[in-house]
Structure 1
Amino acid sequence: MMTEARKVWTIAATLSFTLTLAACGGDDGGSPPPPPSPAQIIVSGTVQAPAGQVALFTKPSLRERIGALVFPEAVAALSGVSPVLDGTPVQLVRIDDAGNVAAALASTAVSAGRYSFNLTSLGLNPSSNLLVHVVNSVTRAQMRAFVTGPTVDLDPISETAVRLVLERIVLTSGTTLTGFTVTELRDITGAVNQLAVVKRLSAGLNIESTVSAIKTEVASESVLTGFIVAAAGPGETTEGPGDIGNYFPLTQGNTWQFQGTHSETGRPPIQYSNTVTVNGTKSVGSVTTTILTENNPLNSRAAEELYYLKDSRGIWNYGNNDSSNTLSPNLIPYRELLFPLNVGVTSEVVNKKGVNFGQDLDSDGKNETADVLSQVTVETFEDVTVPKGTFSNAAKVVHKTTITVFSSAGLRPITVVGTQTVWFAPDLGPVKRTMVLQADEQATESVTEELVNATIAN
């Protein structure tokens, strides 16, 4: 599904150290740069409520009433919600296992539809019982969200996630909030958000009716509810919420046909086609993987097999059948994508240093070594149009792989970066992907593939 790591390796392997790399220079005698300042932990996000209740959070000004007529509501996973009005109070609180506020730690007000807290200045870090909190001034209905990272939105989805966790504590003897890890709480919220996207849920008349409707949908997802139960147990669960919306359908026989454009520096663009097929299984060690065949991936002009494992936590990469790719065997297996598809979250899927590159590029009789960093980010859910049609709520996933190859002869290292963006549609899979390759910060190659036809088993 994502082949940029192999492509990056190919580019790196074809760059000759003896022709493109200069010998290492000496020390310039300058002073080392000062150490970087400690990073500030700032949590911020939007605050959105069912549109009919927005004005109940605080009294709107004349300017805000006019603005509400002029400016459209923000895009959200849940339709029918709007930003609460500026001036709405937001609290940073700790809660107990019953959901009661145990301590109010800080307060702020919504500005331009957003709030922000500097956790570093408050001496705080994300934790299982740290929440942001907003209360309806008339009905006293509340919306809460677990503070699990730098971006934490407050809306009926986040409130649903909080209630699901608190209800699980009541149902599971001996379970406490601190029994849930920050990652588990982030993933529960992300899974509920993804479910709202896939089901195209809309807000009800108020917070309570909206949360109730979302919880009903959650109850119908057995893998997701099982994940919440598992998360209540000790330690970090190995379970996950599954492929909500079936963004990665790996049923045998599924086929995707793409049309592509391949551009290289100094050469005219080339049009090509590529067909991807789910085509059997293969044992890799003790694991049975699913085979994806591509007859011309990214216009490589060479067919390949890719080996994947899909489980409740995501997609595992188990390599390919390219015998010339001597780097990948030193990296696999690794989790190429994590479930749920948490918007805005960047996951480090590979970070290995000093890996045997498998080739002697500088002709000194020794294989080079490489540092490999691969990160994946779910940027958003959006509509995407390709020759096959327009697909709503496609997950835009950006996969960035950086390979720095070090010469055993002491020549200057070279860095190759591949950035691949893939749009996955629910119940269909990949509908578009782009690739940009850079060698030493210079763009060398770009590829775009768009879906023209697909055969997907029900």
Structure 2
Amino acid sequence: MMTLVRTFRAVTVMLSFTLMLTACGGDDGGSPPPPPSAQVTVSGTVQAPAGQVALFSKPSLWDRAIALLSPEAMAALTGLSSVPDGTAVQLIRIDDAGNVTATLTSTSVSAGKYSFNLTSLGLNPSSNLLVRVINSGANAQMRAFVTGPTVDLDPISETAVRLALERIALTPGTTLNGFTVTELRDITGAVNQLAVVKRLGAGLNIESTVSAIKREVASETGLTGFIVAAAAPGESTEGPGDIGNYFPLTQGNTWQFQGTHSETGQYSNTVKVAGTKSVGSVTTTILTENNPLNSRAAEEVYYLKDSRGIWNYGNSDSSDTLSPSIIPFRELLFPLNVGVTSEVVNKKGVNFGQDLDADGKNETADVLSQVTVEAFENVTVPKGTFTSAAKVVHKTTITAFPSTGSKSVKVIGTQTLWFVVNLGAVKRTLEVQADGQAAESVTEELVNATIVN
């Protein structure tokens, strides 16, 4: 399970120590100049069955070998190949029926990728802005909603476009504007995650591949319900749920880890789902750890899992003076969108909970925590080797400001976790840096687990 509280604890301890050493320091030398305005771009890979945008294409033996041996072997949909360099990619707008209303510009695939500079075109991501490759002679195309800086074109993105357009056709009064850019991104991400979980492969052509993906989507009630909710105006409060059960919170689930701490050496830690606890009006699930970070002090952490992700409602650690100022917060959002960074905590001037410069006032801190789903990949731990593990990186930056006006101190904690379908976390690492210097590192790997069906 998620243990972002570990990062908060480790960072808070390091901050406390560093602040006490620097409480008599000078000012921080002023603020740096603001960065230049960033360019808004969209780019991505372009892949199709046998690398052909065609109604029918039979992959050769060579195509199949390349698909297995290439870096894309861990892609959500196996058996795809890059389309030929020089293939035209269009930037288009469509109407609610999917008809192209404007072709804004085009570019060509190079080294399997395309790119558009939206800033130079005076554009931003929107619900009716798409990228497309088309083979008019074969009456075949692949489209993708432009929802962020990285948008891949493949049968998964085409499936997501069709799912949105089909929902509009089925619901009178529904329009593309009813879908937010974030919702369209999440529909694509959820379809991608489902393809990973089901280990789907490419068919003979785009149409057969899309049809196979849509059949799997139809059986995933959380995802279909999310598409219905997303079609309504505004941002939906629903999500697609935990597709693949990467975060199993059934009562009695137990995980046994072996760990190594940079300062205290080797240790073991057992994590267990152990009951529920009311936090205000919310019933949370209790996750116990008998030796977190080799602290030799058991702890409870309180979680809520819903269709949108994982909520953290605090913990039982009385020495954690920071978490009470920022809970509740989402540790992770569903779906697991590869390459997307989400800001889960961004609070300024929170009560640090400690008076470290002995002036009778608690220090304050700025807390920024971001989570990125980096990839689905293989991972090996003592328990075994697992495919399609979700690699999730939490980066937490806490900047503390002494109440005496002394120099601020910044500590960064980076926690990387690997989650497996129907099993949960199998590996966790934590790296802590204080003012740019390595201060602490921890690694835990799964040795055994008991998962209750």
- Give the TM-score range, shorter chain: over 0.9
Aligned twin of 1:320? 315
1:9 aligns with 2:36: no
Aligned twin of 2:103? 104
Are 1:48 and 1:83, in contact at CA under 8 Å, matched by a contact in 2? yes
CA drift at 1:54: 5.8
Counterpart CA distance in 1 for 2:19 and 2:129 is 53
- Shift of the 299–184 alpha-carbon distance from structure 1 to 2, 3 Å rule, reads same
CA drift at 1:36: 2.8
SS of the aligned residue for 1:15 comes to helix
Unmatched 5+ stretches in structure 1: 59-63
Counterpart CA distance in 1 for 2:89 and 2:401 is 50
Aligned twin of 1:386? 381
* 1:200-219 superposed matches below 5 A: 200-219=199-218
Amino acid at match of 2:205: N
Are 1:54 and 1:83, in contact at CA under 8 Å, matched by a contact in 2? no
Aligned twin of 1:180? 179
SS of the aligned residue for 2:165 comes to helix
1:335 aligns with 2:333: no
- Shift of the 102–85 alpha-carbon distance from structure 1 to 2, 3 Å rule, reads same
- Shift of the 376–105 alpha-carbon distance from structure 1 to 2, 3 Å rule, reads same
Aligned twin of 2:266? 271
Aligned counterpart in structure 1 of residue 288 of structure 2, from 273, 286, 293 = 293
Aligned twin of 2:150? 151
Aligned twin of 1:130? 129
Counterpart CA distance in 2 for 1:417 and 1:279 is 31
CA drift at 1:105: 0.4
Amino acid at match of 2:22: T
1:190 aligns with 2:192: no
SS of the aligned residue for 1:8 comes to helix
Counterpart CA distance in 2 for 1:174 and 1:39 is 37
- Shift of the 27–259 alpha-carbon distance from structure 1 to 2, 3 Å rule, reads closer
1:240 aligns with 2:242: no
Instruction: Tell me how many residue pairs correspond in the alignment.
Output: 444
Aligned counterpart in structure 1 of residue 403 of structure 2, from 397, 401, 408 = 408
SS of the aligned residue for 1:121 comes to helix
CA drift at 1:13: 2.6
Aligned twin of 1:142? 141
Counterpart CA distance in 2 for 1:378 and 1:26 is 34
Aligned twin of 2:425? 430
CA drift at 1:139: 1.2
Q: Normalising by structure 2, what TM-score?
A: 0.94
Aligned counterpart in structure 1 of residue 438 of structure 2, from 417, 429, 443 = 443
CA drift at 1:136: 2.5
Amino acid at match of 1:89: A
Aligned twin of 2:113? 114
- Shift of the 305–201 alpha-carbon distance from structure 1 to 2, 3 Å rule, reads same
CA drift at 1:85: 0.6
SS of the aligned residue for 1:194 comes to helix
CA drift at 1:410: 1.4
SS of the aligned residue for 1:78 comes to coil
Are 1:278 and 1:292, in contact at CA under 8 Å, matched by a contact in 2? yes
Unmatched 5+ stretches in structure 2: none
Aligned twin of 2:26? 24
**More deviation, 49-58/206-215:** 49-58
Amino acid at match of 1:206: N
RMSD of equivalent CA atoms: 2.2
Amino acid at match of 1:39: A
CA drift at 1:200: 0.2
Amino acid at match of 1:284: V
Amino acid at match of 1:8: V
* 1:252-263 superposed matches below 5 A: 252-263=251-262
Aligned twin of 1:61? none
Question: 1:83-123 CA deviation, whole Å, 9 max, x = no partner?
Answer: 00100000000000000100000100000000000000000
Question: 1:232-277 CA deviation, whole Å, 9 max, x = no partner?
Answer: 111100000000000000000000000001103xxxx611000000
Quote the sequence identity (%).
77
Counterpart CA distance in 2 for 1:371 and 1:70 is 46
Are 1:315 and 1:335, in contact at CA under 8 Å, matched by a contact in 2? yes
Counterpart CA distance in 2 for 1:79 and 1:138 is 26
Q: Normalising by structure 1, what TM-score?
A: 0.93
SS of the aligned residue for 1:390 comes to strand
Are 2:55 and 2:140, in contact at CA under 8 Å, matched by a contact in 1? no
Are 1:435 and 1:448, in contact at CA under 8 Å, matched by a contact in 2? yes
Are 2:22 and 2:406, in contact at CA under 8 Å, matched by a contact in 1? no
SS of the aligned residue for 1:120 comes to helix
Counterpart CA distance in 1 for 2:126 and 2:346 is 25
CA drift at 1:5: 1.9
